[in-house]
C-alpha cells in the first residue's frame, strides 16, 4: 500500500479509470458509505433552497465529484448498494455500462442540475457521458484560477457540496468557485473528515459573507484499509489536537457535516432525517 502525506492509504488509481468499476470494487471492500449518509441531508438542503429562493431546479456544484456518485444517488433515487451491485465485478464493455446508465437517468426526474468539479478527466468523462452530470469542470483550483468558461459554469451555482475531498481541497478552491457568483452566494454543504480541521475553511468563507454551522453528529466514511493506516491517521489527528477516542479508535474514518449559508439567511436550517436509515447504511 502507498500512503499520502496525511497517513491515509492512497487510492488515486481508482479515480483515473475509464469507468467506475475499480472505484466501486475497491470502496465496497472498505464499506465506503458517506455519499449514502449524505444523500438525505443534500436532499433537504436542495428542498429548502428551492423553497427559500423560489428556484425550481437549483444548480448543484459537486466538488471532487469523481464518477458523479452524489449526482447518481440524488437524481436516480439510488443507494450505494445499488451502485456497488451495478458496477463491482460487472463483466461488460464500457459502452454497455454507459447505455445502461443512460436508461437509468432517463427513467428519473432530477431534483437539480449537477455540475461536477474534479481533477480526473476520465472520471468526469464517464459521469458526463452517463448523464449523471449536466456539465463538468476538469480543473485543479488549488493551483490556478478557473478559466472564463469554468467561471461561467460556476456563475450559475446555487448549492456547492462535497463528500470527501476537503483536506486535499482547501478553502482556496471553494473561494474560487464562489467568486464566480458574488451577486448571490450559493449555499454550501460539506462532509469533511474529522482529521482535517474545518476552521480555516470556515474563516475563508466568513470573509465572503458566510455563516457556518456544524451538524451535531458524526458520519462514518469508511473502514481503515489497514492497521498501519489507522495508526498513521491517529498520529495526524493527535498532531491536530482532535480526540479520536470512541470513533477513529474503533476502526473507522469519521466525517462531520458543515453547512455554510450567507449571513442573514432568514429561514432556519432544519433537518428531519430518518436516523434508522442512516444507521442501516452505516452498518
Q: Does 225 map to a domain?
A: yes
pLDDT digits (tens, 9 = 90+) for 147-179: 999 999 999 999 999 998 999 999 999 999 999
| pLDDT value, residue 276 | 55
Q: Which domain holds residue 238?
A: 12-281
State whether the Cα torsion 220-193-5-15 is positive or negative.
Answer: positive
CA–CA distance, 32 with 3 (Å, rounded to integer): 18
Domain total for the chain?
1
Q: Does 220 map to a domain?
A: yes
Q: Does 101 map to a domain?
A: yes
Q: Is the pLDDT of residue 82 over 80?
A: yes
Q: What are 230's three cell numbers?
A: 489507522
| pLDDT value, residue 181 | 76
Contact 1, 229 (CB under 8 A): yes
Assessment of whether the complete model's pTM goes beyond 0.85: yes
| pLDDT value, residue 267 | 83
Q: Does 84 map to a domain?
A: yes
| pLDDT value, residue 211 | 96
Q: Does 6 map to a domain?
A: no
Tell me the pLDDT band of 268, cut-offs 50, 70 and 90. Answer: confident
Tell me what the pLDDT averaged over the chain comes to.
94
Tell me the pLDDT band of 1, cut-offs 50, 70 and 90. Answer: confident
Q: Is the pLDDT of residue 282 over 70?
A: no
Q: What is the CATH number of the domain that holds 259?
A: 3.40.50.150
- Residue 232's φ and ψ, nearest 5 degrees, are -70, -40
pLDDT digits (tens, 9 = 90+) for 112-130: 999 999 999 999 999 999 9
Amino acid at each position: 500500500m502507498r500512503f499520502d502525506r496525511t497517513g491515509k492509504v492512497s487510492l488515486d488509481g481508482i479515480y483515473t479509470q475509464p469507468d467506475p468499476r475499480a472505484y466501486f470494487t475497491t470502496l465496497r471492500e472498505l464499506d465506503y458509505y458517506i455519499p449514502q449518509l449524505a444523500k438525505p441531508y443534500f436532499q433537504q438542503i436542495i428542498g429548502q433552497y428551492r423553497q427559500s429562493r423560489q428556484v425550481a431546479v437549483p444548480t448543484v456544484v459537486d466538488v471532487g465529484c469523481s464518477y458523479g456518485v452524489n449526482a447518481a444517488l440524488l437524481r436516480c433515487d439510488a443507494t450505494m448498494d445499488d451502485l456497488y451491485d451495478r458496477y463491482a465485478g460487472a463483466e461488460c464493455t464500457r459502452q454497455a455500462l454507459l447505455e445502461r446508465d443512460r436508461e437509468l437517468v432517463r427513467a428519473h426526474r432530477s431534483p437539480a442540475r449537477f455540475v461536477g468539479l474534479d481533477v480526473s478527466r476520465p472520471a468526469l468523462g464517464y459521469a458526463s457521458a452517463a448523464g449523471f452530470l449536466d456539465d463538468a469542470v476538469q480543473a485543479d483550483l488549488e493551483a490556478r484560477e478557473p478559466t472564463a468558461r469554468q467561471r461561467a459554469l460556476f456563475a450559475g451555482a446555487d448549492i456547492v457540496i462535497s463528500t470527501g475531498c476537503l483536506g486535499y481541497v482547501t478553502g482556496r478552491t471553494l473561494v474560487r468557485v464562489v467568486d464566480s457568483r458574488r451577486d448571490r452566494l450559493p449555499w454550501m454543504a460539506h462532509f469533511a473528515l474529522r482529521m482535517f480541521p474545518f476552521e480555516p475553511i470556515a474563516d475563508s468563507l466568513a470573509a465572503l459573507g458566510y455563516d457556518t454551522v456544524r451538524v451535531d453528529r458524526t458520519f462514518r466514511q469508511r473502514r481503515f484499509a489497514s492497521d498501519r493506516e489507522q495508526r498513521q491517521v491517529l498520529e495526524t489527528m493527535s498532531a491536530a489536537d482532535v480526540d479520536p477516542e470512541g470513533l477513529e479508535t474503533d476502526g473507522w474514518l469519521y466525517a462531520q457535516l458543515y453547512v455554510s449559508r450567507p449571513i442573514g439567511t432568514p429561514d432556519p436550517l432544519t433537518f428531519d432525517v430518518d436516523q434508522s436509515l442512516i444507521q442501516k447504511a452505516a452498518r
